[in-house]
Amino acid sequence: MKILITGAGGLIGSEAVDFYSKTGNDVYGIENNQRQIFFGEKGDTSKRLGELKNKYQNFINFNIDIRNKNQLINLFEGLKFDVVIHTAAQPSHDKASSIPFDDFETNANGTLHLLECVRQQNKDCIFIHMSTNKVYGDKPNTIKLKELETRYDYDDVNYINGIDETFSIDGSTHSLFGASKVAADILVQEYGRYFQIPTVCLRGGCLTGENHSGVELHGFLNYLIKCNLSNVQYNIFGYKGKQVRDNIHSSDVIQFMNLFIKNPRIAEVYNIGGGKNNTCSILETFQIVENITGKKMIYDYIEKNRIGDHICYYSNLDKIKTHYPQFEITKSFEDIVKRIYEKYLYESK
């Protein structure tokens, strides 16, 4: 297969490059290290990209900006792709408010450019889009909650297994990032339905793994562990540190993508995260990280929460497991923390 992966140096993109290069496909990347421009040196993805280029001769990267439709048109005219895995994005809902044009042009317009290239060149091409749970805005905060000692949780039997794909995206504050990702999400669905292109939107929870370039504005778990090991203060933004997320390792995301490629569907949407078993609050994460590293967290508490932030969110995986029964979460939250910790130890030697 000829596979195009946008955001090839990022967390999910690089995991996809690694997996599909190993399995003998012709893999092409689009990566221009825009994350470094968004977040500074700590967001730099060039090292990870360089490792992949050195490791795999069947991987070629193009230094293209997905906002430039003419560059994309030229690429698609020269190569007929079987699969597009679209992971490139401006990923921070905090950052988006200071760069609204860059955010929307990357997340919404960039996605439109890719979809239109697929429609013009090969409508049988499978299009996998990394969306986000931020398309639901802060609507999950309207669900009845219960406050426990170290976390919040749902206090409504309808959400005992988390948020499913029927949950409304309307009537909520999304952040500008959430709004641009909603636009992209709807475009991907529409190109699927209207033009009968096999597309899927993966509304991710906390996507994580040892290859994430975590920064304060994006990459919660990596950044938290990095703070712990570097004796850097970590800031908790509101909700008493009891806000809850579900965490999924990047390799489990790729596991699902591979299942979808083998058995694609039209205009599907799936909530994909670690599910209820892989949930953790910030306070609980502190304890787990401290137990593994042997170091106490240095932190400050800021009363004001981030605008549009979820108090509690975890993915209901019933739909994705019904359509693809082989899909499973293979790495627990503790496993993920250990892998990130071990990668930092190795790199610090």
Binned at pLDDT 50, 70 and 90, residue 349 comes out as low
Angle, CA of 260, 14 and 11, to the nearest 5°: 90
Closest CA to 200 of 149, 137, 271, 136: 271
pLDDT at 45 over 70: yes
Residue 319 has a CB neighbour count (10 Å cut-off) of: 17
Q: Give 72's contacts (C-beta < 8 A, 6+ positions apart).
A: 64, 66, 113, 114, 117
Domain count across the chain = 1
Tens of pLDDT, residues 231-267: 999 999 999 999 999 999 999 999 999 999 999 999 9
CA dist., res. 230 & res. 298, Å (int): 10
CA dist., res. 122 & res. 124, Å (int): 5
CA dist., res. 22 & res. 273, Å (int): 25
Binned at pLDDT 50, 70 and 90, residue 91 comes out as confident
CA distances from 198 to 115, 229, 281, 285 (A): 11, 43, 36, 38
Helix (H) or strand (E) holding 106: none
Q: Which residue type occupies 104?
A: F
CA dist., res. 82 & res. 2, Å (int): 5
SS3 track for 99-161: CHHHHHHHHHHHHHHHHHHHHHHCCCCEEEEEEEHHHHCCHHHHCCEEECCCCEEECCHHHCC
Dihedral angle sign, alpha carbons of residues 130, 181, 212, 273: negative
Residue 239 has a CB neighbour count (10 Å cut-off) of: 21
Binned at pLDDT 50, 70 and 90, residue 94 comes out as confident
Cβ–Cβ under 8 Å, residues 286 and 319 = no
Q: What is the predicted pLDDT for the residue at 244?
A: 97
Higher pLDDT, 203 or 348: 203
Average pLDDT of the residues in 24-31: 96
Helix (H, G, I), strand (E, B) or coil at 170: coil
Q: What is the predicted pLDDT for the residue at 49?
A: 92
Instruction: Show the tokens assigned to 54.
Output: 């050195």
Binned at pLDDT 50, 70 and 90, residue 5 comes out as very high
State phi, psi for 205 to the nearest 5 degrees: -85, -135
Q: Give 47's contacts (C-beta < 8 A, 6+ positions apart).
A: none
Domain residues for 290? 2-348
Indicate which CATH number applies to the domain containing 140.
Answer: 3.40.50.720
